[in-house]
Homo-oligomer: A and B are copies of this chain.
Amino acid sequence: MLVTPDISSLKYTIDKGVKYFELAAEPVNQEILPGVFIKGWGYNGSIPGPTIKVYPGDYVNIRVYNHLPEATSIHWHGLNVPNVMDGVPDVEPSPRIEPGHFFDYHFRITNPPGTHMYHSHVNVARQDMLGLLGGFVILDPHEVTINKDYLLLMQEWSLVGLEKGKKVEPGNYNLNPFSMDFNMFTINGKSFPYTTPMPVEYDDIVRLRFGAIQINHHPMHLHGHQFCLEKSDGNPIIPSNSLLKNTVLVASGETWDVLFKANNPGIWPIHCHISHHVSNNFTDGTGGMFTTLVYE
Selected from B215, B221, B244, the residue in CB contact (under 8 A) with A276 is B215
B contact residues around A276 at 8 Å (CB): 125, 129, 178, 180, 215
A223 to B249, CA, bound (A): 21
Say if the beta carbon of A100 comes within 8 Å of chain B.
no
B contact residues around A111 at 8 Å (CB): 226
Protomer copies: 3
CB distance from A86 to the nearest CB of B (A): 6
Q: Is the CB of A242 within 8 A of B253?
A: no
Q: Is the CB of B93 within 8 A of A266?
A: yes
A123 to B247, CA, bound (A): 20
A37 to B77, CA, bound (A): 33
A254 to B241, CA, bound (A): 18
Q: Is the CB of B181 within 8 A of A165?
A: no
B contact residues around A75 at 8 Å (CB): 223
Q: Is the CB of B124 within 8 A of A286?
A: yes
A243 to B284, CA, bound (A): 40
Selected from B223, B226, B235, the residue in CB contact (under 8 A) with A245 is B235
Over the window 194-234 of chain A, the binary record of Cβ atoms lying under 8 Å from chain B Cβ atoms (1 yes, 0 no) is: 00000000000000000001110101010111100000111
B contact residues around A84 at 8 Å (CB): 266
Q: Is the CB of B126 within 8 A of A253?
A: no
Say if the beta carbon of A161 comes within 8 Å of chain B.
no
Selected from B78, B128, B226, B275, the residue in CB contact (under 8 A) with A275 is B128
A208 to B265, CA, bound (A): 34
A252 to B84, CA, bound (A): 34
Q: Is the CB of A83 within 8 A of B265?
A: yes
A215 to B165, CA, bound (A): 17
B contact residues around A124 at 8 Å (CB): 275, 278-279, 286
Say if the beta carbon of A36 comes within 8 Å of chain B.
no
A275 to B123, CA, bound (A): 9
Q: Is the CB of B77 within 8 A of A221?
A: yes
* A83 touching B224 in the complex, CB below 8 Å, given contacts A254-B247, A275-B125, A275-B129: yes
Say if the beta carbon of A56 comes within 8 Å of chain B.
no
Say if the beta carbon of A292 comes within 8 Å of chain B.
yes
Say if the beta carbon of A82 comes within 8 Å of chain B.
yes
Residues of A within 8 A of B (CB): 75, 77-78, 80-84, 86, 88, 90-93, 111, 121, 123-126, 128-129, 164-165, 178, 180-181, 213-215, 217, 219, 221, 223-226, 232-239, 241-247, 249, 251-254, 264-269, 273-276, 278-279, 282-286, 292
20 CB < 8 A contacts A-B: A75-B223, A84-B266, A88-B223, A88-B269, A88-B286, A91-B267, A92-B269, A93-B266, A124-B278, A125-B279, A125-B283, A128-B275, A165-B178, A178-B276, A178-B282, A215-B276, A219-B254, A238-B239, A245-B254, A247-B253
